[in-house]
Structure 1
Amino acid sequence: MTGRQSAYPSRRAVLSAGGALAAAVATAGLASQADAADYPERPVKIIVPFAPGGPTDIMARILGTHLGEALKGTIVIENRPGGGGNIGIGIAAHAEPDGHTLLITSSAYVVNPGLYAKIPYDPFKDFAAIAELGTSPNVILVNAKLGINSVADLIARAKAHPDELNYASPGLGTTPHLSGELFKIVANVEMTHVPFSGAGPAIQALLSGTTQVTFAALPPAHPHIESGALKALAVTGPHRWFDLPDVPTMIELGYADFITDTFQGFLAPAITPMSIVERLSTKSIEILKTPGIAEQLRNDGFEVLANGPDGMRKRIADEVPKWRDVIMKAGIKPV
């Protein structure tokens, strides 16, 4: 037929387009390999969306030191606290996806979608998973001078003086905060929540007597427990911590299913070259599995996971709906 063009491309056009696509894929593959070979071209910034001194900061600094050596480059840890982690996570989400801006975050990443009406990132689309690094049980702490030596003591004090006790957390919607809210529900007590910009400031508030109770991840609290400045009443993991044998779990104390932890995950902005993501993942897992480093992290209060991208993606997929449900049941309205 003349004078009329077919709505479908000709076989020659398909072959030509296919050749162009194959060439583009091959070029992209070579570019990706080149990205990995030349990476890093300048200092790599790892954003920690919390104040210094918390578990995520501790993990980032330990991993960052060894990762810089493995990559033969410079790693810079940049703390960007605020908004329950949203500020730092948002900055990382919108960074150039070239592997030179990365994110090490905590459970706030999966909690915040259910806690805030609007957040500056999509937990499923805005990041490429690098590795699931580690996790820590949360711990219920009081100042050793307070005279509270057990969870039973804490409950009795809270019931006798319902307006007296303030509890600190690393921030609104963090797993320590949600641990505190869950504790109030199961123990039928009232305490006033005082959020801080990270675990470090929250623990300092407890040490100074500004607050009377703190729910925190174990790593930043561990040295203060060992020194005797803080009294650990219970851990919220499934079992007792190896070097705190006298500290019971909440389950042992009769609170079934009271398990909350804080994880640390390693992420890159979406569409970061896969070769760079894979290199970062491989090196990070090798570092975490090194016996001396694994032991150091364990002594600091971390259970090392050292899982690759699939493990991190699964945790995100599982925990975004999990924490959304907990927030709803606790009656916490999105802010």
Structure 2
Amino acid sequence: MTARIDRRSILAGAGALLAAPTAGLGQQPWPQGRVLKLVVPFPPAGATDVLARLVADKLGRTWGTNIVVENRPGAGGNIGTDAVAKAEPTGDTFLIVSVGMATNQYLYQKLTYDPARDLAPITMVAMVPNLLVVNKTVPANNVAELIAYAKANPGKLTYGSSGIGTSVHLCGELFQKLTGTKMVHVPYRGTAQATQDLIGGRIDLIFDNIPQALPHVRAGSIRGFGITTAKRSPTAPEFAPIADTVPGFDVSSWFALFAPAKTPPAVIAKIQADTKAGIADPAVRAKMDALAAEPVGNSPDELGAFLQAEMKRWGDLIKEVGLKVE
């Protein structure tokens, strides 16, 4: 009898260790003593990377641990996202993504992960509006005149983007749908070259990131016609929302944290709570303001619901337009 009790105790203890990815929490609570990894599925220096480093630095100092930011770019963010989807769900690896989390399943023929099944939402870090900017030679002075010109000259205007399926591109597709216009899409590898070509007159317009476009607008090199969100941006308050002219037009670039599915809920709750507190810190907020990034910090459930809505919204548009990444 004693032997049987001992055997059960041993098995129970082993099972508890196997079942607890954060075993030893009593002595050293997660994440103390660990090196964490925040994966950015895009190259360095872009908006996703900059926000990731702000978050990693703030959380690392809050927790007294090291958070390594690892860039794993490729395939529109799919390579890095897949790596995190397949990582051990211990809380030691998490991910920052953008709109591709909602759109890539419609743009790519086959994904090696399921965004809804294989990844757990943590929190939205920030939302960033874009700015409709236009070359100085385009014969229009505002959004209404631009629409009128585009309708009178179908297929004549060209608009640049940072690549197929990016928020910059989807702004253009939604604009055409809601206004009944037809423009020619010119994709680039990022907005920097697209902005230079806009200044040089090689394309007519772009729904550009505010930090990229605003200095050129204020220098007089290009013109700003409107913000892509439903309300004005504190960073560029002089520009009215495009929605004032085009009802229903409301697009933001967004950046959110996800973890592998089955990551312990307590770990996700801690990352969410400390991220929310971190992005409210005045020093962090000042750096985000420079990116025109509005801190969010919503709950995992709220982020999950937002993702489902984005999948529906952009999935319908992508299928209607017939967008595909070859």
The TM-score bracket by the shorter chain reads 0.7 to 0.9
Determine the structure 2 residue equivalent to 1:24. 15
Q: Is the 8 A contact 2:178 2:249 kept in 1?
A: no
Alignment pair present for 1:90 and 2:82: yes
Find the partner of 1:168 among 151, 156, 160.
Answer: 160
Partner of 2:225: 233
State which of 221, 239, 251 in structure 2 corresponds to 1:247: 239
Aligned to 2:142: 150
What is the CA distance between 1:53 and its match in structure 2?
Answer: 4.3
2:203 to 211, 215, 238: 211
CA distance in 2, matches of 1:223, 1:52: 21
The 5 Å alignment of 1:114-153 reads 114-143=106-135, 149-153=141-145
Identity %: 34
1:234-279: per-residue Cα shift (whole Å, max 9, x none)? 11211122242331212212x1111122211011222334444333
Aligned residues: 319
Shift of 1:122: 0.8
Question: Aligned partner of 1:239: which letter?
Answer: K
Quickly say closer, same or farther: Cα 1:221–1:108, change in 2 above 3 A.
farther
Between the aligned partners of 1:48 and 1:160, the Cα distance in structure 2 is 43
TM-score, length basis structure 1: 0.79
1:41 aligns with 2:70: no
Between the aligned partners of 1:186 and 1:21, the Cα distance in structure 2 is: 61
Which residue, out of 285, 288, 311, partners 1:320? Answer: 311
Contact 2:139 2:149 in 1 (8 A): no
Q: How far apart, in 1, do the equivalents of 2:65 and 2:218 lie? A: 35
Unaligned runs of 5+ in 2: none
Cα-to-partner distance string for 1:53-108 (whole Å, 9 max, x where unaligned): 44323322322222222232333433333322223322332234444432111111
Structure 1 residue identity aligned to 2:247: A
Shift of 1:146: 6.0
Find 2:320's aligned residue among 306, 329, 334. Answer: 329
In 1: Cα distance, 2:41 partner to 2:120 partner: 17
User: Equivalents in 2 of 1:23, 1:74: separation in Å?
Assistant: 30
| Structure 1 stretch displaced more, 285-294 or 161-170 | 161-170
Question: CA separation of 1:306/1:222 partners in 2, compared to 1, >3 Å: closer, same or farther?
Answer: farther
Which residue, out of 278, 292, 297, partners 2:269? 278
Equivalent residue for 1:301?
292
CA shift, 1:298, in A, is 3.4
Give the unaligned 5+ runs of structure 1.
1-12
Normalising to structure 2: TM-score of the pair? Answer: 0.81
Tell me the CA shift for residue 230 of structure 1.
4.0
CA distance in 2, matches of 1:91, 1:27: 23
